[in-house]
Amino acid sequence: MTEKNGLTDKFKAGYVAIVGRPNVGKSTLINNFLRFKLSIVTPKPQTTRHRILGVLNGEGYQIIFLDTPGIMEKVKYNLHKWMIKRAIEAMDEADLVLFVVEPMQPTEADLKILDAIKERNKKTVLVINKIDRVPKVEVLPVIDAYSKLYDFTDVVPISALKLINTDELLDVIIKNLPEGEPFYPPDMLTDRPERFFVAEIIREKVFQLYGEEIPYSTAVEIEVFRERDEEHGGKDYIRAVIYVERDSQKAILIGRGGQALKKVGMRARQEIEEFLGRPVYLELWVKVKPKWRKNEAFLKEIGY
């Protein structure tokens, strides 16, 4: 129970799934709400592969955000099927769904996501992101088009990047959460371990530094994570493997004289040290695992 202006309000707590097409700004939104880099962000679509839980605690509420992989129209690999399954599962868990779209008419992929929402009859807020990129007059027809397709609980146009209307969106979320006790301790931010975020940071650097094909063909596994390892001068010792599907991709990833991989390692180490708050000795290896995105057993083995 919380006191507000002399009145007693009941505590609000619940799960909020953030769903949408790839690259509509879901991860940027959750990172800004949490003021913490929960999900890696790059200009390339399909960067997020996991369902990632982030906890936002405030006065009188606890929001458990579920960031999800973008739901794509065409499914090519078992990895894609796994990603879509995680997004659908998040909707099943959620008390409230945030359906994030861009300020444009609904695409086939948007309609596919909307069908999944309709099947579950979920309380859903339509979040029109990136409104800073278009004139205001272009947003109204988008609201109108979507409003004819589903009875949304609310519609909130925002810019997650520029923090336009994000406070208003937060108010809408809290208003629509069920009353109840918090699910997690007040100091908990996520259910993911440190090594998960370390792997994601390395994967983000691959997305940032390489062209179209390479990032999507890579997976990162943390083989060794030893805190304050004496052999490495008291630094955390991390050995990570970057998997690719072909020898030609391995050659590109490593680069001439290992220079390209060295750049990945340098950028990743700097961010990992900021994240962990302590010095790190990072070792990167590249291995070829043919057709790993279609290999269900391997996907499970590396945490998908």
Q: Give the model's pLDDT for residue 212.
A: 73
* Cβ–Cβ under 8 Å, residues 222 and 198: yes
Q: Which residues of 198-232 are buried (b: 16+ CB within 10 A; e: fewer)?
A: bbbbbbbbbbbbbeeebbbbbbbbbeebeeebeeb
Token reading at 280:
């790190």
Averaged pLDDT for residues 50-67:
88
pLDDT average, residue stretch 129-136? 95
Mean per-residue pLDDT, 288-300: 87
> Which residue's entry shows tokens 């650097």?
205
Contact 238, 225 (CB under 8 A): yes
The pLDDT assigned to 239 comes to 97
Cα separation, 291 vs 293, whole angstroms: 5
CB 27 within 8 A of CB 73: no
Residue 146 has a CB neighbour count (10 Å cut-off) of 19
Q: Is the pLDDT of residue 149 over 80?
A: yes
Q: Which of 95, 103, 40 is nearest to 64 (CA)?
A: 95
Task: Quote the pLDDT of residue 98.
Answer: 96
Residue 169 corresponds to which tokens in the numbers above? 């969106």
Split at pLDDT 50, 70, 90, the class of 7 is: very low
Rounded to an integer, the average pLDDT of 181-205 is: 91
pLDDT for 42 equals 58
Backbone dihedral angles phi then psi of residue 37, each to the nearest 5 degrees: -80, 85
Residue 15's pLDDT is: 95
Averaged pLDDT for residues 126-132: 97
Q: Is 53 exposed, middle or buried (0-12, 13-18, 19+ CB in 10 A)?
A: buried
Contact between 63 and 84 under an 8 Å Cβ cutoff? The reply is no
27 band by pLDDT with thresholds 50, 70 and 90: confident
pLDDT digit string (tens) for 77-97? 566 565 677 778 888 989 999
Q: What is the mean pLDDT of the chain?
A: 88
Strand, coil or helix: 257? helix
pTM of the model: 0.79
Start-to-end CA distance of the chain, whole Å, equals: 39
Residue 238 confidence (pLDDT)? 96
Q: Which tens digit of pLDDT belongs to each residue from 230-277? A: 888 899 999 999 999 999 999 999 999 999 999 999 999 999 999 999
**How deeply is 300 buried, as exposed, middle or buried, from its count of CB atoms within 10 A (0-12, 13-18, 19+)?**
exposed
Which domains are delineated in the chain? 2-175 (3.40.50.300), 194-301 (3.30.300.20)
Q: Please tell me the predicted confidence (pLDDT) of residue 85.
A: 73
Q: What was the pLDDT predicted at 198?
A: 94
How large is the average pLDDT for residues 191-210? 91
Residue type, 177: L
**Is the per-residue pLDDT at 71 higher than 70?**
no
Q: How far apart are CA 162 and CA 164, in angstroms?
A: 6
Quickly count: other Cβ atoms within 10 Å of residue 302's Cβ.
16
The reported pLDDT for the residue numbered 6 is 36
Specify whether the CB–CB gap between 167 and 140 falls below 8 A. no
